[in-house]
Structure 1
Amino acid sequence: MAVQSSFDPQAFRTALGTFTTGVTIITTQAEDGSPIGITANSFNSVSLNPPLVLWSLAKSARSLPVFSAGSHWNVHVLSTEQEPLSGRFAMQGENKFAEIELDNGISPAPLLQDCTARFQCRTAFQYEGGDHVIFVGEVLAFDHSDRAPLAFQSGQYALATRKPRSELRLATTPPPPECSYTEDLLGYLLGRVHYQLLDALHRLLSNQQLDEHAFFILSVLCIRDNLTLDEINHFVSYTGHVVSVASMRFLEKQNLVALEGSQQAPRYVLTATGREASLQQVALAKAVEENVSARLAPGDAQALKVLLKRLIAASDPGLPDLWAPR
């Protein structure tokens, strides 16, 4: 690790940014009754007995006189769903509280809803700390939920997921030293969870007298109807399946798809029966996802989706965007 020999303020700021924090909104009420709120990540605990917390505000901040004069303020630890709210309260010159429902607190300070945690505080001390003012507050009331907290790291929002206390192993017996195929292979992990999640879907497809091949075709047409055979193949190419005329004729006989256009340029659309079958499949897939997500820690499913999207983008050979407008 290189040590800075000269003190560079920007490098210092970058180094501080490597410390991952939560994201909070601090609110208070001005003397004229107007609500005031700012986004801050300088929040920290101070003491359990008495219950004290602190945060800091730049001396250049427009809201500093209001917070300095006020006796009460509330700290809201934001959840991952509240990232837009964080952005709103980080901006200046807009009505930040427009169309926001508030709870009644023990003080006039605005109390936001749906947070990971909230601390209602009375100003206990104020200290100057360089170019900031440090506010220490006595916690008069607090509450918290199981919502996953929003994180901030190196100037960007981040997602937090809990690390198991001990290493999670799927197999009780470790592989022999000469075996290079282990459960830590990404392909194995992705493949195993893929088939485990699709188990219930395969049973539904069997009841519908369909297979995974038909599922991909119906899914594509449910999202983007009126496609040629080449276009359908274009969209399902990532699965390794090749859709043939015979495949489409089978679905036609099942009254799941219909042929439109001329014989020279045929296009396929879902029938009402086909759309209903596809929606049943999607509903089941969502139910399976919700069931699995409920077994994970708060925020794990969202973090997993972000990582999978990054992995797909990193390994994408240039497949078409199924949801892109025509």
Structure 2
Amino acid sequence: MSEQQQAFKKALGNYPTGVTVVTTFNENHEPLGLTVNSFASVSLDPLLILWSIDKKSKSYNEFMKTKKFAVNILASEQQELCNLFSSKIEDRFSQCKWQESEQRLPILNDTLSVLECETIQQIDAGDHTILIGHVFNIENTEKEPLLYHRRNVGPIPEEFYKIEAK
């Protein structure tokens, strides 16, 4: 990795993000998922989101073939799920609680939010592919989010919510 690439990774690591696990089924109806923090909203009308996947990812070809996926936004207590879905473990779904949604997507239990999406566009972008999804189902809870910052994950610190009286 070049010095410029290392500096780029460090700069982006300074930007705190939420943590998601993107899930789908493969052609054999086996669930697939991976931890993703390259997730963003695109449009309110229509409801569009994007995320990107490394072309070297083991599940890359499966995500390129699928027509639907779910973005599971992790809650603060779900650090183990973040680690599980970023690991080399083959059958990740055997080690967590999940269910199949009415829209026939694998959904992780007890997440902060879930966005079920139809893939509408795939954009080649260097060593990644950007997937744009049209959101067709949304589930929300009142939990706190899991955050990623400088290669660490954890909850929002209590100080964040404290408001100083002036």
- The answer to whether the 8 Å contact 1:72/1:107 transfers is no
Q: CA 1:34–1:11 in 2, change beyond 3 Å: closer, same or farther? A: same
RCO (CA 8 Å, sep 6+): is it higher in 1 or 2? Answer: 2
TM-score (norm 1): 0.48
1:130 — aligned with what?
A: 126
1:275 — aligned with what?
A: none
Counting only pairs closer than 5 Å after superposition, residues 1-326 of structure 1 correspond to structure 2 as 8-161=4-157, 162-163=160-161, 167-169=163-165
Q: CA 1:93–1:163 in 2, change beyond 3 Å: closer, same or farther? A: closer
Unaligned 5+ segments in structure 2 are none
- The answer to whether the 8 Å contact 1:116/1:145 transfers is yes
- In the TM superposition, structure 1's runs of 4+ consecutive aligned residues that sit over 6 Å from their partners are none
Q: Partners in 2 of 1:102 and 1:13 — Cα distance? A: 32
Task: Give the Å deviation of 1:92.
Answer: 1.6
TM-score (norm 2): 0.91
- The answer to whether the 8 Å contact 2:17/2:37 transfers is yes
- The answer to whether the 8 Å contact 2:117/2:137 transfers is yes
Q: Indicate the structure with greater strand content.
A: 2
More off after superposition, 97-106 vs 85-94: 97-106
Task: Give the Å deviation of 1:8.
Answer: 1.6
Quote the RMSD (CA, aligned, Å): 1.7
Partner SS, residue 80 of structure 1? coil
Unaligned 5+ segments in structure 1 are 1-5, 173-326
Q: Aligned pair count?
A: 163
Q: Indicate the structure with greater helix content.
A: 1
